[in-house]
C-alpha cells in the first residue's frame, strides 16, 4: 500500500521513534501501530513485511482508503493483538475465518468498511474471543449470520454496536443480562426481533438503542434498576402493554424515546420527575389518562413529544414555564380547555397542540 509518510518516518532512524509506532521499552519490539487517518491507499498484500511484527498488540488502520479484502495473515500472524480497529478503512469482502484465532482480542472495530461476516466466521469469533469487551460492527453485512451466535459472546462484554448490520431473527435476550454490558446499539435492523428479559437486566447499562427494529413484548419493571442509563431509544418497534412507572431513580437518563410502538395504559408520571432528561418522545402509541398538574424537575427538557395518543384533560400550566423547552408536540390527543402563555424569556420554537 502507499501513503504520504509522516516526517518522522526516516529509514535511518529507529522505527520506535516514528509517528504512530510504539515499542516495548524492554524488548524493542513494535507493539502498536496507529495510522488512523493516514491516507493509506491500495491493497494490503499477504506478503507485506507488516506481518513480520509478531509481537504487535494494537493495530489501528481506521479512516483510510484501502481497496481490497483483508488478508488472512492479519489474523493468523498477529496472535497477540488486543486491539484492532479497521473502521472506515476501505477494506471489503468476506472477513476471513482466521479472525477467530485472535484469542487475546479485547476490542474489535470493523464498522463501516463494506465487510461481510458469514455464519461460520462469526460463530467461531463469538466462541473463541473469550476476552472480548468491545465489539463494534456497525454497517457490516451480517445478513448471513445466525443471531443465536450472540449468546456465545464473552461474559466480559461491555460495548456491543451492531447498527445497520442486516441482522434478522430473534435476538437472544440473555445478551441484555451480561453483567458488564454498558452500551448496546441494534438500531436499523428492521428484521430483528426479540424480547427484553423480565429480570437480570445488566445493571451497568448506560445506552440501549433498539431504534427501528421489531422487538416485542413488554417493558419489564426491572428497568427501574438501570441507575446508570443515559439513553433509551425503542422508537418504531412492536412493544406493547403498559410502560411501568419506575423512572424515579433514573437520575442520569437524558434521552427517552418510546415512540411508534403499541404501548397502552397511563402515561408514567415518574417520567416527569427526571432531572437530567432533554428529550421525551412517547408519541404514536395508545397512552391515555391526564398529564400531571405539578412538575418542577424538567429543567433541561428541550423536546417533549406526546402526539398521537389518547391523552385527555387540560394542558398543564407547568408546560409554559420549562426554561429549556424548544419543541412541544401534544397534537392528536383528547386535550381540552384553555392554553396558557409561555413565560418570557423562553427558547420555544415549535408548538403543536
Question: Looking at residue 217, what is its pLDDT?
Answer: 98
Which parts of the chain have pLDDT scores under 70?
Answer: 1-8, 12
* Separation between Cα atoms, residue 234 and residue 276, nearest integer Å: 19
Same fold, 1-147+157-165 and 167-180+187-353: yes
Look up residue 134 and give its three cell numbers.
468491545
Tens of pLDDT, residues 193-241: 999 999 999 999 999 999 999 999 999 999 999 999 999 999 999 999 9
92's grid cell: 471489503
**For the chain, domain boundaries:** 1-147+157-165, 167-180+187-353
Beta strand 159-161 with 183-185 is parallel
Cell of 34: 496507529
Q: Is the pTM of this model over 0.85?
A: yes
- Residue 107 to residue 117: CA distance in whole angstroms: 17
Residue 98: count of CB within 10 angstroms of its CB: 17
> What is the architecture of the domain spanning 1-147+157-165?
Alpha-Beta Horseshoe (3.80)
Question: 269 φ, ψ to 5°?
Answer: -70, -30
- At residue 234, the pLDDT reads 98
pLDDT digits (tens, 9 = 90+) for 113-142: 899 999 999 999 999 999 999 999 999 999
Distance separating alpha carbons of residues 212 and 234, to the nearest angstrom: 8
Please answer whether residues 176 and 201 qualify as being in contact, where contact means their C-beta atoms are separated by less than 8 angstroms: yes
Check: CATH 3.80.10.10 for 167-180+187-353? Answer: yes
Cα 216 from chain centroid?
A: 19
Amino acid at each position: 500500500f502507499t501513503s504520504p509518510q509522516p516526517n518522522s518516518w526516516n529509514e535511518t532512524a529507529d522505527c520506535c521513534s516514528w509517528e504512530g509506532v510504539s515499542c516495548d521499552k524492554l524488548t524493542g519490539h513494535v507493539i502498536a501501530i496507529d495510522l488512523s487517518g493516514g491516507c493509506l491507499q491500495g491493497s494490503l498484500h499477504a506478503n507485506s513485511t507488516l506481518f513480520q511484527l509478531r509481537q504487535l498488540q494494537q493495530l489501528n488502520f481506521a479512516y483510510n482508503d484501502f481497496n481490497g479484502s483483508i488478508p488472512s495473515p492479519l489474523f493468523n500472524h498477529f496472535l497477540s493483538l488486543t486491539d484492532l480497529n479497521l473502521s472506515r478503512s476501505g477494506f471489503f469482502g468476506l472477513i476471513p475465518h482466521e479472525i477467530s484465532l485472535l484469542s487475546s482480542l479485547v476490542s474489535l472495530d470493523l464498522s463501516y468498511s463494506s465487510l461481510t461476516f458469514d455464519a461460520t466466521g462469526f460463530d467461531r469469533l463469538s466462541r473463541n474471543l473469550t476476552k472480548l469487551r468491545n465489539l463494534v460492527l456497525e454497517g457490516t453485512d451480517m445478513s448471513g449470520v445466525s443471531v443465536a451466535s450472540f449468546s456465545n459472546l464473552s461474559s466480559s462484554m461491555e460495548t456491543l454496536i451492531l447498527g445497520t448490520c442486516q441482522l434478522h431473527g430473534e435476538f437472544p435476550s440473555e445478551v441484555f443480562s451480561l453483567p458488564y454490558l454498558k452500551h448496546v446499539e441494534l438500531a436499523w435492523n428492521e428484521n430483528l426481533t426479540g424480547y427484553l428479559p423480565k429480570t437480570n437486566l445488566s445493571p451497568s447499562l448506560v445506552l440501549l438503542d433498539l431504534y427501528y427494529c421489531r422487538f416485542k413484548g413488554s417493558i419489564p419493571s426491572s428497568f427501574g434498576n438501570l441507575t446508570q442509563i443515559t439513553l433509551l431509544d425503542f422508537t418504531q418497534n412492536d412493544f406493547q402493554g403498559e410502560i411501568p412507572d419506575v423512572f424515579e431513580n433514573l437520575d442520569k437518563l437524558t434521552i427517552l424515546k418510546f415512540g411508534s410502538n403499541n404501548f397502552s395504559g397511563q402515561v408514567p408520571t415518574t417520567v416527569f420527575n427526571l432531572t437530567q432528561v432533554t428529550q421525551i418522545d412517547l408519541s404514536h402509541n395508545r397512552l391515555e389518562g391526564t398529564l400531571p398538574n405539578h412538575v418542577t424537575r424538567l429543567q433541561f427538557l428541550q423536546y417533549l413529544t406526546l402526539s398521537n395518543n389518547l391523552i385527555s384533560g387540560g394542558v398543564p400550566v407547568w408546560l409554559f414555564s420549562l426554561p429549556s423547552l424548544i419543541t412541544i408536540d401534544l397534537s392528536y390527543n383528547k386535550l381540552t380547555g384553555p392554553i396558557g402563555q409561555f413565560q418570557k424569556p423562553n427558547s420555544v420554537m415549535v408548538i403543536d397542540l
